[in-house]
Amino acid sequence: MKRHITEEVQPMEQEREVATGENDGARKIGEVILDLQNISLSFGGVKALTDISFNVREHEIRAIIGPNGAGKSSMINVINGVYHPQKGNIVFRGEQRHSMHPSKVARQGIARTFQNIALFKGMTVLDNIMTGRNTKMHSSFLANAIWWGSARKEEILHRHKVEEVIDFLEIQHIRKTPVGRLPYGLQKRVELARALAAEPDMLLLDEPMAGMNVEEKQDMCRFILDVNEQFGTTIVLIEHDMGVVMDISDRVVVLDYGKKIGDGTPDEVMANPEVIKAYLGTSH
């Protein structure tokens, strides 16, 4: 199947300047906070990732791209602690690990969204977003059961944070709606809201715009840029829409058949012959 390097959406030029920081003194790309070193991951005979190294800097928007089956989701799952690589190291904020449990990753300030929306469809938007606060809850089971003392204070604090996220993502009008009744684009936004409710330092977004129409993609682009700019959240995203990737990313890493074939600014990877070949030259 041939892949095309430029696709449907041409997001807003103004936001691109914000994203790249060219005209934005407030947004500074910081030190490396996540360093992936020589990661190899296999499933039986299938080599999903082979000796992959790259890093992520604080406050940047880092895209992972590549054709179908290139290993992008596997990479996110390694960062997230869902998959444990056979080889390599992950250094997050100076702490080296070979693998980690997803709940510990969440407590370290890394939140994610999924390629296929993973929300409780029968629950309201508000209740779904509240589940994003799980890692922040401290009250004992007993205190929670009788909603007493610290549990009551905590609940108020969590509700306050959730309401902030609802306002930020402009979903006040659907807060009481069961998620299963919402159009796809809004469900994706609710998933982003749930991840944001955890107040993460780093957000992993697995195809946040998949299946969206042009308008929904533009909205999602704007929210991703706003999250990055206003909260300083570091963002790692997988996205197939090259127009979006090139517009909002600071740096892009390119995978193909589980190997890294490119890494650099959007302009650098667009000019990389191996990348062009992977997208246009070969049928996958």
Name which position in 11, 71, 109, 262 contacts ligand ATP (CB under 6 A): 71
Which C-beta is closer to ligand ATP: that of 219 or that of 239?
Answer: 239
Rounded-to-integer distance, Cα 187 and Cα 13, Å: 26
Which pairing describes strands 61-65 and 234-238: parallel, antiparallel, or unpaired? Answer: parallel
Site for ligand ATP contains 1 (CB under 6 A):
no
Binding mask 12-51 for ligand ATP (x = CB under 6 A): -------------------------------x--x-x---
Site for ligand ATP contains 218 (CB under 6 A):
no
Of 68-76, 96-104, 218-226, 267-275, the window that binds ligand ATP (rule: CB under 6 A) is 68-76
Which C-beta is closer to ligand ATP: that of 69 or that of 232?
Answer: 69
Please, how many CA atoms are within 13 Å of residue 37, restricted to the half-sphere of its CB? Answer: 14
Token representation of residue 148: 């007493």
Q: How many residues does the chain have?
A: 284
Which C-beta is closer to ligand ATP: that of 15 or that of 207?
Answer: 207
Which pairing describes strands 259-264 and 251-256: parallel, antiparallel, or unpaired? Answer: antiparallel
Name which position in 20, 39, 74, 217 contacts ligand ATP (CB under 6 A): 74
Site for ligand ATP contains 211 (CB under 6 A):
no
Please, how many CA atoms are within 13 Å of residue 41, restricted to the half-sphere of its CB? Answer: 28
SS (H, E, C) 144-158: HHCCCCHHHHHHHHH
Whole-number minimum distance, CB 280 to ligand ATP, in Å? 17
Name which position in 15, 60, 66, 269 contacts ligand ATP (CB under 6 A): 66
Which C-beta is closer to ligand ATP: that of 12 or that of 82?
Answer: 82
Region label for 102, one of left (φ > 0), alpha (ψ between -120 and 50) or beta (otherwise): alpha
Rounded-to-integer distance, Cα 195 and Cα 172, Å: 17
Whole-number minimum distance, CB 43 to ligand ATP, in Å? 3
Name which position in 34, 56, 70, 242 contacts ligand ATP (CB under 6 A): 70
For the chain, list the strands marked E by DSSP.
32-43, 46-57, 61-65, 87-92, 95-97, 110-113, 202-206, 234-238, 251-256, 259-264
Name which position in 27, 59, 62, 72 contacts ligand ATP (CB under 6 A): 72
Which C-beta is closer to ligand ATP: that of 69 or that of 185?
Answer: 69
Of 69-77, 104-112, 158-166, 270-278, the window that binds ligand ATP (rule: CB under 6 A) is 69-77
What is each CA distance from 211 to 116, 183, 240, 241, in whole angstroms?
10, 11, 11, 11
Which C-beta is closer to ligand ATP: that of 36 or that of 166?
Answer: 36
Rounded-to-integer distance, Cα 211 and Cα 209, Å: 6
Dihedral angle over CA of 96, 99, 104, 106, nearest 10: 90
Name the site residues for ligand ATP (rule: CB under 6 A): 43, 46, 48, 66, 68-74
